[in-house]
Amino acid sequence: MDPRPDGTRISAASADPAGPGRRTEAAGHDLRKRARRVLLALVVLAPIVLAGCQLPTFGAFRGATTQGQDAFKLWQGFFIAGLVVGGFVLVLIVWAVFRYRRRSDQVPRQTQYRPFIEVLYTVIPILIVAGLFVFTVITENEVDAVPSTKVTIDVTAFQWGWQFYYPATGKVVIGQTLQQPQMVLPVNEPVTIHLESADVFHGFYVPAFNFSRYAAPGYVNTFNFNVLHTGVYRGQCTQLCGLYHSLMLFSVKAVTPATFERWVHQTSGHQPTIGQLKNQIRANGPGA
């Protein structure tokens, strides 16, 4: 009985050492030469092509704030680095899989160490990582900078809604789940946000701004937005915060500074407190 399953023949004495699949030195040499030429062409052409056209977004938002644009540029850089490095490794894997599939029952050369190559594939990744780190730190410092600004907004997240408080005028916007409270801020002007939570951890996330930060119980997170274009941007809680986490929506409306001034000086009228809204949602469920 043949003890081996189909397709997994380990050794067969009948193997033909001069079979059609046998690779020759000359062919290998030729291939290597051609590969080197293609690689050279790529290295020379890539920067020209890249410089000549606008880089794609690679799926991310371009960033509606200056901070978001900085993060977006970093994303593009990382994406290209990932494409190059990942593509290189992918080519190696695919090449090995197709080039060295079993063609005979010969035992190949039992190479175990090539110190030069081993040093190479240790040092080059360290250099790449060092480069990525430098760009990371530069961008991080831009995104996280908090110069003092004219407009300040205190954002408080709670289960399951948001309160936006404008300390300069006492204006309050508050709403739970599908009511989608709207934060209003002036365009083309840095705005400081103080973010905290009334209960559990929440995530303050505006996708178009390429930014999110936890709303934490017990401490305040501070950051700046400098929105570049007027418009309404959707936001959502990203950190699991309990039953109605899925519905904890809000939006950000960027308006001209004049409009903002008018809006922020209008009295907000009677607004419920965070506690009242929490009780309301616990009793009646989420509302619009």
Partner 1 sequence: MTDVITPAITGDGSRGSVAVEAPSHLHEEHGPTGLLKWLTSTDHKVIGMSYMITSIILFYVAGIMALVMRLQLAAPNASLVSFAQYNELFTMHGSLMLYLFAGPFAFGGLANYIVPLQVGAPDMAFPRLNALSYWLYLSGSITMMLGFLVAGGAAEFGWVAYAPLSNAANSPGLGPDVWIMALVLTGFSAIFTGVNLVATIFYLRAPGMTMFRMPIFTWNMLVTAILILIAFPVLTSALVMLFCDRHFGTHIFSVQGGGSPILWQNLFWFFGHPEVYILALPYFGIVTEIIPVFSRKPVFGYKGMVFATLSIAALSTGVWAHHMFTTGVVLLPFFSLLSLLIAVPTGIKFFNWIGTMWRGELQFSAAMLFCIGFLLAFLMGGVTGVMLASPPIDFFTHDTYFVVAHFHQVLFGTAVFAGFAGIYYWYPKFFGRMLRENLGKWHFWLMFIGFWVTFMPQYIVGLLGMPRRVAVYPSNLGWQSYNIISTVGAFIIAASFAILLWNFWVSWRHPIPCGDNPWDAHTLEWFTTSPPPHHNYTHLPPIRSERPTWDYHHPDAPAIPHGEGREPKRDKVLVSS
Q: Which is nearer to partner 1, 76 or 271 (CB)?
A: 76
User: What residue has token string 């946000």?
Assistant: 193
What's the Cα-to-Cα distance from 91 to each of 37, 38, 108, rounded to whole Å?
A: 16, 13, 22
Tell me which of 152, 179, 192, 238 binds partner 1, using CB under 8 A: 238
Closest CA to 199 of 234, 152, 161: 161
* Contact code string over 211-230 relative to partner 1, x by CB under 8 A: xxxx-xxxx-x-x-------
Residue-wise burial string across 86-116, b where 16 or more C-beta atoms lie within 10 A, e elsewhere: eeeeeeeeeeeeeeeeeeeeeeeeeeeeeee
Does residue 246 interact with partner 1 by CB under 8 A? yes
Give the residue with the Cβ less far from partner 1, 4 or 150: 4
Q: CB nearer to partner 1: give 249 or 264.
A: 249
CB atoms within 10 A of CB 266: 9
Tokens encoding 223: 């950051």
What mask of x and - would describe binding to partner 1 in positions 112 to 141, judged by CB under 8 A? xxxx-xx--xx--xx--x--xx--xx-xx-
Kindly give, in sequence order, each residue whose CB lies less than 8 Å from that of residue 210, ignoring residues fewer than 6 positions away: 60, 61, 63, 65, 67, 68, 69, 71, 72, 75
With CB under 8 A as the contact rule, the residue among 62, 80, 105, 154 that binds partner 1 is 105
User: To which H or E segment does residue 195 belong?
Assistant: strand 191-197
Dump the DSSP string for 199-223: SS-EEEEEGGGTEEEEE-SSS-EEE
Compare residues 214 and 260 and give the one whose CB is closer to partner 1.
214
Q: Judged by CB, which is closer to partner 1: 89, or 168?
A: 89
Whether omega for the bond prior to residue 75 falls within 30 degrees of 0, making it cis, is: no
Q: Of 7-15, 46-54, 182-190, 261-269, which segment contacts partner 1 by CB under 8 A?
A: 7-15
Applying CB under 8 A, among 62, 80, 104, 192 the residue interacting with partner 1 is 104
Residue 203 binding partner 1, by CB under 8 A: yes
Q: Does 13 bind partner 1 (CB under 8 A)?
A: yes
**Residue 264 vs 274, nearer CB to partner 1:** 274
What's the closest the beta carbon of residue 199 comes to partner 1, in angstroms?
7
Q: Is the dihedral of CA 49, 74, 182, 241 positive or negative?
A: positive
Kindly state the helix (H) or strand (E) to which residue 274 belongs, with its residue range. helix 274-284
Provide the mask over 60-89, with x wherever binding to partner 1 is found by CB under 8 A and - wherever it is not.
xx------x-xx--xx--xx-xx--xx--x
Q: Which is nearer to partner 1, 99 or 262 (CB)?
A: 99
Q: Could you give the string, one character per residue 172-201, with x where binding to partner 1 holds by CB under 8 A and - elsewhere?
A: ---------------------------xxx
Residue from 66, 156, 176, 210 binding partner 1 (CB under 8 A): 210
